[in-house]
Structure 1
Amino acid sequence: MARTFMRRWFSGGPDDDPAAIGAYNAMTTAFLQTDRLLAEIEDGIAASHDTDPTRDVVGRWTPVREQHAQATSRYLELQRPEPESPYASAAVYEDCTRRLEQVSAEMTAFRERFGEKLARARAARQIAAEAVRQARAAADRAVAELDRPESLPFLQYPSVIAAVDVLAAQVRRLDTVTDSADRQESATAVTDAAAAVHAALAAAPGRTGEAQNAVRSIATRISAVATRAEQLEPARSALLREFSAACSNDLVDNDRVAADAAAAADREVQAARGEITAGHPESALAHCGKARDHLRAADDAVDAVTDRLRSLREIRANPAAVADRVRFRLRDAQQLAMQRDLVGEWGSVLDAQVDRIDRACAALDGVHPDYWTYTTDLEAIDSFIGGVVDRMRGRV
């Protein structure tokens, strides 16, 4: 009696409705097919999103994914809570199966259309993942190198500290990026930073010798600068004797500038020697770098005087040659203005340079010609003409 009641209430049991059982099994098979397709495509979609979130393939997948979600929701509604639960009618299962098969066809078409793009995205993600793996391994090796007892004396070297700081920063960045391209770029940066740590540790034992050699070299240069500075007085005397004072007024203090720079370089060398004694060769090298800067300033101060004397003598020997070069440059510019039909825009500007050249040449008249003002004025005119030419050619 109870069995008859149950049949009537649930429209039959599993043993009494073979069509419903078959339809249910077909529905399950269709669902499993869509589930396999979903797993395959979603992996490629995730990879494509990682490599390029703006790709069209990601947007085109969304409606297909929504169709699958709706069909899956209906399938889950028709699942029996327990194996002994009754089946629905075959028609109900068949309707869900048609939905699932339609979605399966849409997913298959999507895979065939975009399969190559998805495969490339998966490959790019795998490449990025391998680069990340290698980068982390490289970072681990660098840390292990830092932990070796042999590295202990060099851990406070600025070069080692800087390399370690860069490595730590690059590893932190690698931990935050998600885009495949960014991950690969970041992984490369980590690998390079790890290599820099190894390089810093490898170079550290030789820093003391490097610093000692630098100190000796700079000490030699200081002596050479002092020797060259001895030429300043004869050169200054020649300038004042042969040319007007205006030609070298800006060089009056160059002997003091050279001497001060050489003294500053010597102080840096002394500081470098102290750092070497204290076991800080990289600090010594920093002082050596400052000493070289001072020496360059001393050399420049000496060269400015000797070069000025040589230049003024060349100009005095043929002053017209300087003006002729500028006039030639001006004629070329005027011809360019005519060729490009730019006379209306630049003609008067270029014509005005003729007067500027004439005024510069007139400055040589008199008992004490100012050759330096003459040449600097002409250089300024030449530079101005060059700027006009650049504008006419569209370079500016």
Structure 2
Amino acid sequence: MAKTFMRRLFSGGPDADPAAISAYNAMTTAFLQSDQLIGEIEDGVSASRAADPARRLTDQWMPVRERYSAATAAYLQLQRPEPDSPYTAASVYEERTRQLEQVCAEMTSFREMFGEQLGRARAARQLAAEAVQQARMDANTAVTELDQPESLPFLVYPSVIAAVDVLAAQVRKLDAVTDTTDLKDTTTAVREAAAAVHTALASAPHRPTEAQNAVRSVATRISAVATRAEQMGPARSALLREFSAACSNDLVDNERVAAAAAAAAEHELQAARAEITAGRPEAALAHCAAARDQLRDADDAVDAVTDRLRSLREVRENPGQVADKVRFRLRDAQQLAMQRDLVKEWGSVLDAQVERIDRACAALDGVHPDYWTYMTDLEAIDRFVTGVVDRMRGRG
């Protein structure tokens, strides 16, 4: 009976050396400590690896990790496969214990040195996981909303289709992303895309009313442009009577341009009305937007003629006033060059503008003054001087 009890107690046979048993148990304890440490540290290093593409912390960890692997492999070679397996000499176990304890000391030192960084990495990973979960919940909520019966009539709307396509693309990107840095941007994009789906669905019931209002607004603008276009003929005639032909040669086609743009806008308006009848309000809104673009072109063509007549009359009334404004800006620029000791660099450039102004003024002395060329030349000089001032101030 005593022999049986001893075999159960020491698990190595009645002849097992107590010192070997003690050394074996100490080695096992050292291994368990190292196993606990490796678990704690590896979790943080793994989180840091995802957040730090440069892998600085990982590079410092790898030599320690390799020594742990070597110590573990050596320990496993001494593991007894069966409870009754014979023990090795105590000195062998003690050597493995020292190896494991050395590795434990290195890992403890690493944990103390980088503990804060590892903790931040774990926290960041947790936040990232929570962000991913929230993003997927938002995406699922959007999909559920799409599946509701009340959403069915709006699934063919281009705005809803586009929002759904963006959400699907962002979810696919979320499924593929691995870098923690990219993960933040991707989860944000998924949540924004899910919100966009909700907004598109919420706005969809109002589209028919919006389309009707847009059609009425475009129709009103077409009528207003037609009324304004009636001013073009008299204004063009006044330009030719009061000023040289060179002052309005570039406007000869404006009546045709305005008429063509107005006709194109009318065509878009009719298309918008047809889309409303067909139950496609968003398509109607797109046609209304195109009509507005055409009406802007028509307005610009009308304004170019009427504004030209007004501007030329103002210049004819007091041509020297325009030149005086440019000369004043030029003098300010010359003073700035002196104040900033930039005369060597910009003095001759600015002086040359005086001659340009004089030439522009001299061109008005003919029988039929070209006020338009006079205006455009002075505006070009003014822009040039403004650019020089910006460069002297360090803004160019």
Task: Calculate the TM-score normalised by the size of structure 2.
Answer: 0.94
| 2:357 aligned with 1:357 | yes
Shift of 1:382: 1.2
Match for residue 7 of structure 1? none
Q: What RMSD in Å do the two structures reach over aligned CA positions?
A: 1.6
Mapped contact 2:139–2:167 kept (Cα < 8 A):
yes
Segment drifting more, 77-86 vs 87-96: 77-86
Shift of 1:234: 2.0
Secondary structure in 2 matching 1:16: coil
Match for residue 298 of structure 2? 298
Match for residue 229 of structure 2? 229
Match for residue 340 of structure 2? 340
Shift of 1:336: 2.7
Shift of 1:15: 4.7
What per-residue deviation string (whole Å, max 9, x for no partner) do you get for residues 317-359 of structure 1?
A: 2211111121122222222333333333322222211111111
Shift of 1:55: 5.1
Matched letter for residue 332 of structure 1: D
Partners of 2:225 and 2:333 lie apart in 1 by 44
Match for residue 58 of structure 2? 58
Alignment of 1:1-396 (within 5 A): 13=13, 15-54=15-54, 56-396=56-396
Segment drifting more, 350-359 vs 291-300: 350-359
Mapped contact 2:16–2:87 kept (Cα < 8 A):
no
Shift of 1:14: 6.5
Partners of 1:122 and 1:98 lie apart in 2 by 31
Partners of 1:82 and 1:339 lie apart in 2 by 96
Secondary structure in 1 matching 2:365: coil
What per-residue deviation string (whole Å, max 9, x for no partner) do you get for residues 201-254 of structure 1?
A: 111111111111100110011011111111112222222222222111111221
Matched letter for residue 133 of structure 1: Q
Q: Which runs of 5+ in 1 are unaligned?
A: 1-11
Mapped contact 2:16–2:86 kept (Cα < 8 A):
no
Mapped contact 1:48–1:118 kept (Cα < 8 A):
yes
Secondary structure in 2 matching 1:368: coil
Match for residue 8 of structure 1? none
Shift of 1:83: 2.2
Partners of 2:39 and 2:303 lie apart in 1 by 76
Secondary structure in 1 matching 2:125: helix
Shift of 1:393: 2.9
Mapped contact 1:27–1:97 kept (Cα < 8 A):
yes
Give aligned pairs, total.
386
Shift of 1:78: 1.1
Mapped contact 1:14–1:21 kept (Cα < 8 A):
no
Mapped contact 1:64–1:103 kept (Cα < 8 A):
yes
Partners of 1:351 and 1:41 lie apart in 2 by 73
Partners of 2:67 and 2:385 lie apart in 1 by 71
Partners of 2:189 and 2:21 lie apart in 1 by 60
Mapped contact 1:14–1:86 kept (Cα < 8 A):
no
Partners of 1:180 and 1:69 lie apart in 2 by 28
Secondary structure in 2 matching 1:84: coil
Identity %: 77
Segment drifting more, 122-131 vs 312-321: 312-321
Partners of 2:208 and 2:119 lie apart in 1 by 54
Partners of 1:187 and 1:377 lie apart in 2 by 55
Matched letter for residue 277 of structure 2: T
